[in-house]
Amino acid sequence: MKNYIQKGETLTIPAPVTVLSGEPVIAGAIVGIASGDALSGAAVDVATSGVFELPKVAANAFALGAPVYWDADDKLATSTATDNTKLGVAVAAAAASTATVQVRLSGF
């Protein structure tokens, strides 16, 4: 294939905001996890597939397979879709008493 570029599991893009390694990156419809720290506008490698453990809203509980959204203002995974970006789905139940949720990225 002459037009093949890459698998796309990791993309190098300009960071839309300053990000730390392991934080979600949302650039339009590109959703992933930063593989390193980057200042806004600097190149950052973003994993667009895989399972990641992320901090979550303390009051939220997630059932296996439940949708997980990202609250960019609070930098927490949430069950609330309104004004938040869908990251993927929970791959394990996460009780409200836990600090994190395991998320499989949707890979838009």
Condensed to tens digits (0 to 9), the pLDDT of residues 28-42 reads 999 999 999 999 999
2 part of a folded domain: no
Q: Given the DSSP bridges, would you call strands 100-105 and 76-78 parallel, antiparallel or unpaired?
A: unpaired
CB burial class (10 A; 0-12, 13-18, 19+) of residue 104? middle
Regarding whether 55 and 22 lie in a shared domain, the answer is no
Condensed to tens digits (0 to 9), the pLDDT of residues 64-76 reads 999 999 999 999 9
3 part of a folded domain: no
Regarding whether 33 and 79 lie in a shared domain, the answer is no
63 part of a folded domain: yes
Q: pTM for this one?
A: 0.92
The pLDDT of residue 106: 86
The pLDDT of residue 108: 55
Rounded to whole angstroms, the maximal C-alpha distance in the chain is 51
Number of domains composing the chain: 2
CB burial class (10 A; 0-12, 13-18, 19+) of residue 72? middle
Regarding whether 88 and 61 lie in a shared domain, the answer is yes
- Parent domain of 95: 51-105
Regarding whether 59 and 96 lie in a shared domain, the answer is yes
The pLDDT of residue 1: 83
